[in-house]
């Protein structure tokens, strides 16, 4: 059976699979290796499912899950920039590379789906809608939870202080999910200067 539409969908799904070859700064829980962006996407989608009750009123958890499933796909072309290496100097280059990547990769899909997925990714990146703000907060909340069990992980790699973590991680987590920040902050304070 020939189906150009299904061919395009499968070309996207086969390309997307490469996301698991992109390594992140945070080690997995047992500390044995770095987390990859594919399994990270699964883990935070599961965060969304389980922590739904901590989202602000009006957030659609199913939309948040959809957003989290695709939020990192641009890294196949653009790579992952560890949060502790992000700076105002390089931000516009990173954003341009990620937009290029989004257009190429989502562009493998049939036109209607390509437009839908690009819009969903741009909504996540803009971090303005309630769904995107909550999704971003989960994306920032998961790595410290890993570092608390893996022995310090990326905090050690980048000599992170509590103040720096508060600025880069605490702020977005508080914005979308203050309950989650209040829960984890004392645990981080106990191990970071």
CA distance 155 to 118: 32
Instruction: Pick the stretch among 28-36, 81-89, 126-134, 158-166 that binds a copy of itself (CB under 8 A).
Output: 28-36
Q: Which of residues 62-121 bind a copy of itself (CB under 8 A)?
A: 62, 65-66, 69-70, 109, 113
**Residue 13, interface with a copy of itself (CB under 8 A)?**
yes
Tell me the backbone φ, ψ of residue 103, rounded to 5 degrees: -65, -40
CA distance 120 to 135: 12
State the nearest-atom distance from the C-beta of 175 to a copy of itself, in Å: 17
Q: What are the tokens at 11?
A: 């070309």
8 A C-beta contact, residue 20 and residue 146: no
8 A C-beta contact, residue 139 and residue 68: yes
- Interaction site with a copy of itself (CB under 8 A): 1, 3, 6, 9-10, 12-14, 16-18, 20-21, 28-30, 32, 35-36, 38-39, 41-43, 45-47, 49-51, 54, 62, 65-66, 69-70, 109, 113, 145-146, 149, 179-180, 182-183, 186
């Amino acid at each position: 059976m020939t189906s150009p539409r299904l061919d395009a969908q499968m070309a996207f799904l086969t390309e997307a699979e490469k996301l698991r070859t992109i390594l992140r700064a945070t080690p997995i829980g047992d500390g044995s290796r770095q987390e990859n962006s594919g399994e990270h996407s699964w883990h935070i989608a599961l965060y969304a499912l389980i922590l739904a009750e901590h989202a602000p009123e009006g957030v659609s958890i199913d939309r948040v899950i959809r957003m989290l499933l695709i939020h990192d796909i641009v890294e196949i072309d653009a790579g992952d920039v560890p949060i502790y290496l992000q700076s105002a100097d390089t931000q516009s280059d990173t954003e341009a590379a990620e937009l290029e990547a989004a257009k190429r990769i989502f562009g493998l899909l049939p036109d209607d789906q390509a437009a839908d997925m690009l819009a969903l990714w741009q909504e996540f990146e803009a971090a303005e809608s309630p769904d995107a703000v909550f999704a971003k907060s989960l994306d920032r909340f998961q790595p410290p939870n890993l570092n608390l069990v893996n022995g310090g992980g990326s905090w050690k790699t980048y000599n992170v202080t509590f103040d720096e973590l508060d600025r880069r991680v605490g702020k977005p987590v508080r914005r979308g999910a203050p309950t989650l920040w209040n829960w984890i902050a004392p645990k981080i304070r106990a191990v970071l200067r």
